[in-house]
Structure 1
């Protein structure tokens, strides 16, 4: 159960669906290791709330794509919180099966593609998200074909964010806004737009 900070408000119905999701995660986790066993005790703060930070950026959009969705963070959480249809890309077949079951159990408007990100054939979306997946340079490689022309990508990043930005700017022109994380003192959300290869 989560005590949400003032900046993140969810309805009672959303809270119940998030609880259903966490219960499912706890049930599946011993079999397929969706999050580390030591994270289960703090799954609300460490994973759910961290993912909820992206909800205000996705709310009101037509659809979003979440890359490397793994245990459902942030994709499932964002879809539950916003009602925005999402496509989750997860190459691990067992994790993809979990994501499909999570979508069903929470009635989240999600499609799950059990494919490698670089191989998916899907219409670009106005929003692309990712969390704890890869370096920024790699994320931008994957994002470029998935992001609509005026779209924005949102990446949850840790203390290496500045170094990753410096590295990525060698190969990419982009506009970047940095939002402070509410769950980690050295965490940020990178908002990337106008992405073009150098």
Structure 2
């Protein structure tokens, strides 16, 4: 492992410690391998606007890793608009006994996901190249996760058919989205809201857990 890779490994480890998330050596190695694969593919296929490996660690890996504690009550999870696997691949690495479906309509991004799943031996990952409105799974999901995917109105509107009876939405946002919440308050309620500080990332981060209103 060269010096740069060793630096990135230490950066991931420090960030996880700051998030109070314990990593095994195997998980740390897998996260580093994913970051390196993403950086390699990004040079040719423009999967993300973030180019520098050090910034990828903070803005992508650690930002996704911060979601890990909040998916522990779900077993069958879909990441809609996953892009190159954020947060889905990171969460799959951290939760090998949970099932993750990663959905994106962009073919080059899902081709990368197939490569990442093979390289990282992630048997708990299913990849779907489709529009979310057109995807009808055999089994609905306990949790629907999105990261910079759409407004809350669009997320809940497009994905409502994916949710199991007792399932929830988990939306990753920047600033607390007051107007977006008002737009859905007749149908959904914020069951929980978490302000998250991601190491090395300026700006606000909020994670919203949404449930249908019982009267809706």
1:149 corresponds to: 165
Distance 2:174 2:208 in 1: 10
1:97 to 1:195, Cα distance in 2 relative to 1, 3 A: farther
Partner of 1:70: 83
Confirm or deny that 1:174 pairs with 2:192: no
- On the 8 A contact 1:128/1:147 being kept in 2, the answer is yes
Instruction: Look up the match of 1:32.
Output: 45
Of 93, 115, 128, the residue aligned with 2:130 is: 115
What TM-score do you get using the length of structure 2 for normalisation?
0.84
Task: Please give the TM-score of this superposition, normalised by the length of structure 1.
Answer: 0.91
Which is worse superposed, 14-23 or 40-49? Answer: 40-49
Cα shift readout 1:147-182 (whole Å, capped 9, x = no counterpart): 111112211101152221112225x23343100112
Structure 2 gap segments, 5+ residues each: 1-7
Cα displacement (A) at 1:142: 2.2
1:1-16 pair list within 5 angstroms: 1=8, 2=12, 3=14, 4=16, 5-16=18-29
**Alignment of 1:125 onto 2:138:** no
Q: Which runs of 5+ in 1 are unaligned?
A: none
Counterpart pick for 1:22 among 35, 50, 65: 35
Name the structure 2 match of 1:163.
179
1:92-134 Cα offsets, whole Å, 9 max, x none, are: 1111010111111112221101000000010211111010111
Count of matched residue pairs:
197
Q: CA separation in 2, counterparts of 1:28 and 1:62?
A: 30
Aligned match of 2:3: none
Residues 61-100 of structure 1 correspond to what in structure 2 (within 5 A)? 61-83=74-96, 84-100=98-114
Q: Runs of 4 or more off by more than 6 Å in structure 1?
A: none
Contact 1:127 1:154 in 2 (8 A): yes
In the alignment, which residue of structure 1 is the partner of 2:5? none
- Whole-Å separation in 2 of the counterparts to 1:40 and 1:196: 45
Q: Which moved more, 1:98-107 or 1:30-39?
A: 30-39
Name the larger-Rg structure: 2
Q: 1:137 to 1:6 in 2, by over 3 A?
A: closer
Query: How far has the Cα of 1:197 moved from its partner?
Result: 8.7
1:34 Cα deviation from its structure 2 partner: 1.5
What's 1:188 paired with? 206
2:174–2:203 contact (8 Å) kept in structure 1: no
